[in-house]
Each structure stands twice: as structure tokens, then as C-alpha cells.
Chain A
Amino acid sequence: MKWLKKSYVAIVMAFLYAPILVLIVFSFNQSKSRGAWTGFTFGWYEKLFHNQMIIQSLMNTLLVAVISSVVATVLGTLAAIGIRNMKKMSRTLVMNVTYLPIINPEIVTGVSLMLLFVFVKSAGIRLDFGFTTVILAHITFNVPYVILNVMPKLRQMDISVFEAAQDLGCSPSQAFFKVVIPEIMPGIVAGFLMSFTYSLDDFIISYFVTGPTSQTLPITIYSMTRRKVSPEINALSTIIFVVVLTVLLLVNVGDARRERELRMKARDRV
């Protein structure tokens, strides 16, 4: 029974990793064609680093992700605080609308935002498809994730600590920044990280609101895949995979260490 379980896990893992392995192996392949191995080379990596379009779109992606997730975090945290103070009816209403971008297929969100920007343009307001529209769209799909991460923390928080801080001589803003914010910080950080990664990874919504300039990395990858043969994609995938693997390993090791420390502490107490 045990080997059956083990081999089942192994098969699914093989399915998940085989394509990635293929990309990695072929990123070192001399031949341009996919499928035939003709010899080892670092050539595609060199080409990748000299590809201005890719470097530029990587920069754009990072910039869009930073700006949109910071704005979404501020907007969403404030929203969560305000929503918590609403009456039940309006709170339910606002939360239902907030869920919409999460429930809706991304393509519908993308199309709807595209129509909005087209509409705004046709109304005579100067708005170019590109950097601005992509950031506006990313903030829009990021805010709900911040709200959903901050809300539970607010619910757990005892509201009287805010009043207690004021009784002890804090001004309302001091009480807010020194008491409330630290209390809900884990939710804010989680919301920010989620926004940041969604923003980095988003293709579908960006695709509908992007312009001819300031492409993000996923958009550039898409235009590369359309040109059928471009082994630089393999090199790029390999780099992304190694970066993600490193980050996840670091986080995982950190978690394991923290867990071990907690266990040690618990033992010490006994």
C-alpha cells in the first residue's frame, strides 16, 4: 500500500514537473528547433540578457507591481476599516461588489475595464492605453485581496484597545498608527504580498488594457510564444523557476526553523 501511495505522488509530481524540466534542458540546447538536442550552450542566456525588450518589460512589470500593490494596500486597508464600521446591510452590499472581480472570469474583468477606458477616451479625456491603464487595472483587481486579508484581522481585534490607547493619552491618529496598524499588520502584509505576486503574474487583464508601449513581461512572453521558435523563452523560464524556487526554499526553511524554535520553547516550559 505504501509503495502504491508513493508512486502515485511521484507520478503526479512528474506530470507537474516534466514540462518545466523540458524547458530547462532545452534552454541549454544549441539548436533553435524544439525537440532535437544538438549540443550544450549558454547562448540563449546571453541573448536574453541583451534583449532590450525583455529587460525593459521586466522593469515595467516590477514598476507596475510595486505601484499597484502599494496603492491597493493603502486603499484596501482603509476600505476594510471603513467597511467594518458599516451597518450590516451596506457592509454585505459592498462586500458582494468587492467579490465581483474575484468571482468573475479574468477575461470579463479585462474586457469591462477596456470598455471603460475606451469610453473615457471617447468622452474626450486624454488617456493612453499603456502604463496608466495597466496600473489602474492592477489596482482594481488587487484591492479585493487586500480587503479580504485585512478584514479577518480587524474582526479578531478588540476595538477597545483603540479607545484604551486614547484614554492613555494618544491622539486618535497616534492610536491608529501605534495600536491599530500593528495589530492588523499580518493581514496587511499578506494582502500586499498577494497583490504583488498577482500583479507580477497577470497576463489576461493586462492584455486587454495594455497599449503599444510599456509592455509587461507576461505580455512580452505572449508575443514571443506567437513567434513559434524562440529558445530565449526557455532561458527566461529557467531563470524564473530558479528565482521562485530559491524564494520558496528560503521561506520554507524560515518556517521550519520558527516551528522548531516554538517546539523547543514549548519543551523548555514543560
Chain B
Amino acid sequence: MKSKAAAFPYLVWMLIFILVPLGLVAYYAVTTPDGTFTIDYISQVGEYTPVLVRSVWLAFLATVICLVIAYPLAFIISRHSGAGQRTMVMLIMLPMWMNFLLRTYAWMTILEKNGLINRFFAHFGLGPFEMINTQGAVVLGMIYNYLPFMILPLYSIMTKIPNSVIEAAQDLGANARKVLTKVLIPMTVPGISTGVIMVFVPSVSTFIISRMLGGGGNLLIGDLIDLQFLGNAYNPNLGAAISLVLMVLILLAMSITNQFGDDEKGDLLK
């Protein structure tokens, strides 16, 4: 029980299946197929700046909208009784248990040209509206798939805030807006930063949502990587270089979010 040896099999596993593969990504990114050093691939990523910018922008939009939708919802749930809370949390988690491909496929049915929404509006002589294969559809897909990832961490931190804290603020003369900005938000910062990371990371790196709802015209970083490895553009070295850039991008985003998370007010609940 005192020995470190129990971890040995895992350490070997970790080396082979976590560290070596990431090392290989870095290696492929800076070498040509015959193994000579080059930074061509890394600089080639620069040509895809519009795709990078689009990915970050759409993921950012999805994250912000998720936060705006989830915050009041999580608060309402956290003020319910035990049974009510449990039921609502279950209802929010239930869709997550269906494969995200199926959920995204459902939106194709709803949004496409002959889809439900357009058929509905056709009854009134309106449309058809271009909904599928737009950036809006991609953002919608991200919000739909990852909204529970925002609601759940917010909810779990809000349940720890007793009603008395809010009442005390009100007694001391804070209006609703002050309660929100001076009490609730500072106390829920850790939940916000967890939620933001959990929505932003899968959104910025998705390739399925953009392919199914965005058509061919709204490629994201994930699609670009997929194309280099399993698509027509086969070029693992460039793919590795883009993956490396994506990793750096996410680490950057996370360190920014964590900066807020480490805010001293955020530690109030710890």
C-alpha cells in the first residue's frame, strides 16, 4: 500500500499512449514526410487564418449564448426543492445521453429546405428560408449540443449559495441588478469558467456539427484537420501542424479563463 509500483503499468501506458502520440503530432508538424526539419507546415497554417478566425468566432458566440441561456435557468433550478431539482437536472442530462450525431441529425430534419420549419411557414406562403448550411445553423448546433455542459456546473455551484445570502444583500439595500453583479456573479465565477471551457473547447474543435449543419462552405479547424488525415487533402504533416495550433489556441483560452477562475472572489465558496 505504501509502494509506488502499483502505478507502474499506468506510467508505461501513459508514456506510450499519451506522451509519445503528442510527441508524434509535434514531430510531424515540423518535419517533411522524409524526415527533414521544416517549419513550412506551421507557416502554411497561416493560410487558413480565415478558418481559424471563423472557428474561434462561432465557438465564442455559442459559448456566450449558452452562458446567457444557462445562467438564469441554473439559478431557477437551484432555488427549487430537492425533488424538483433532481427532476430538472435529469431532464437536462437526458438528451446528453443520446449520441450527438443523432441530435445533430435531428436538427437537419428541422432546418433543411424541405424541413419542418420551412414546411410550417409554407402554409402561410412564407419562405423557404435558408437555414441549413449557414453559420447560424452551426452555432445553433453547438448551443444545442453543449448547453447542458454550461447549465450543470453553474447549477452545482449555485445550489451551494443559500437563499439567506441573497436576502441579506436585499436587506442591505441591493436591487436585483446589484444582487446579480455584486453577489451572484462573483460567487459563481468558478462555475462560469468551468462551463465556458466545457462549451468552448468542443465547439472550437468540432468537425461534425459544421459538416452536418454548415454544409461545405463553413469549414472549421476540425474539418481542416479531418481533411488532412482522412479526407481528400491527405497531408498528415499539415494536419499535425494545424492540430498543434489548435492545442495552443485552447491552452491559451483556458489560461485566460482560469485567470478569472482564480479571482479571489471566486474562492468564496471553496
Residues of A within 8 A of B (CB): 5, 8-9, 12-13, 15-20, 22-23, 26, 33-36, 75-76, 78-83, 85-86, 94, 97-98, 100-101, 103-109, 111-116, 118-119, 136-137, 139-140, 143, 147, 159, 162, 172, 175-176, 180, 197, 201, 203-204, 207-208, 217-218, 221-222, 225, 233, 236-237, 240-241, 244-245, 248, 252, 255-256, 259
Chain B residues contacting A197 (CB-CB under 8 Å) are 97
User: Which residues on the A side are within 8 Å of B236 (C-beta)?
Assistant: 115, 118
How many Å lie between the Cα of A233 and that of B24 in the bound state?
A: 37
Contact stretch, chosen from B160-168, B180-188, B204-212: B204-212
Contacts A203-B101, A252-B86 supplied; 18 other A-B pairs, CB < 8 Å? A8-B73, A16-B91, A19-B110, A79-B11, A81-B6, A82-B5, A85-B3, A105-B204, A111-B225, A112-B22, A115-B25, A116-B17, A162-B1, A203-B99, A207-B230, A217-B99, A221-B101, A241-B98
Q: How far is the CA of A259 from the CA of B232 in the complex (A)?
A: 56
- Tell me the complex Cα distance, A100–B73, Å: 31
A8-B72, A112-B24, A244-B97 known; A79-B106 Cβ under 8 A: no
Contact of A78 among B10, B104, B225 (CB under 8 A): B10
On whether the beta carbons of A18 and B110 are closer than 8 Å, the reply is yes
Cβ-defined contact, A16 with B119, below 8 A: no
Cβ-defined contact, A79 with B10, below 8 A: yes
User: B50: CB under 8 A from chain A?
Assistant: no
Within 8 A of A (CB), among B74-108: 76-77, 82-83, 86-88, 90-95, 97-108
- Interface 0/1 of B1-27, CB less than 8 Å to A: 111111111110110111111101100
B contact residues around A139 at 8 Å (CB): 13, 17
Show 15 A/B contacts (Cβ-Cβ < 8 Å), sorted by A: A15-B147, A35-B114, A35-B115, A75-B9, A78-B9, A82-B7, A116-B21, A162-B1, A176-B1, A203-B100, A222-B101, A225-B108, A237-B106, A244-B94, A244-B98
Interface secondary structure of B, over-half rule:
helix
Instruction: Tell me which residues across on chain A come within 8 A of B190, comparing CB atoms.
Output: none
Main secondary structure, interface of A, reads helix
- In the complex, chain A residues whose CB is within 8 Å of the CB of B73: 8-9, 12
Partner of B93, one of A26, A217, A248: A248
Is there an interface contact between B144 and A15, defined as CB atoms closer than 8 Å? yes
Q: Given B10, B21, B97, B250, which contacts A248 in the complex, CB threshold below 8 Å?
A: B97
Contacts of B116 in A (CB 8 A): 22, 35
Indicate which residue in A9, A108, A201, A203 contacts B208 across the interface (CB closer than 8 Å).
A203
Q: Are A100 and B109 in contact (CB under 8 A)?
A: no
Please determine whether B109 and A26 come into contact, CB atoms closer than 8 angstroms.
Answer: yes
Q: Is B52 on the interface with A (CB-CB < 8 A)?
A: no
Query: Using an 8 Å CB-CB cutoff, how does the interface string of B108-127 with A read, 1 for contact, 0 for none?
Result: 11101011101100000000
Docked CA distance A13–B92 (Å): 8
- Docked Cα-Cα span, A16 to B118, in Å, equals 20
**Are A111 and B1 closer than 8 Å at their CB atoms?**
no
Bound-complex Cα distance A85 to B10 (A) = 14
Bound Cα distance A172, B1 (Å): 8
Q: A116-B17, A248-B94 are in contact. Are A256 and B201 (CB under 8 A)?
A: no
Which residues in window 205-230 of B have CB below 8 A to A? 205, 207-208, 212, 222, 225-226, 229-230
Which A residue sits closest to B120, measured CB to CB?
A35
The answer on a CB contact under 8 Å between A114 and B229 is: yes
A207 vs B230: C-alpha distance when bound (angstroms)? 9
- Shortest C-beta distance, B209 to chain A (Å), equals 11
> B239 in the interface, Cβ–Cβ < 8 Å?
yes
Tell me if B105 and A115 are in contact (CB < 8 A). Answer: no
**Which residue of B is nearest A146, CB measured?**
B10
The answer to whether B69 has its CB under 8 Å from any CB of chain A is yes
Given A143-B10, A240-B98: A9 and B76 within 8 A (CB)? yes
A105 touches B76 (CB 8 A): no
CB-CB contacts of B49-79 with A at 8 A, as 1s and 0s? 0000000000000000000010011001100
CB of B202 within 8 A of chain A? yes
Give the residues in chain A near B97, CB-CB below 8 Å: 197, 201, 244, 248
Contact across chains for A94 and B7 when beta carbons are under 8 A apart: yes
Chain A contacts for B100, CB-based, 8 A? 203
Asked if A107 and B243 sit within 8 Å, CB to CB, the answer is yes
Shortest Cβ distance from residue B138 to the other chain A in the assembled complex, whole angstroms: 15
Other-chain residue from A12, A20, A221 in contact with B106 (beta carbon distance below 8 A): A20
- Within the complex, what minimum Cβ distance (angstroms) separates A189 from chain B? 18
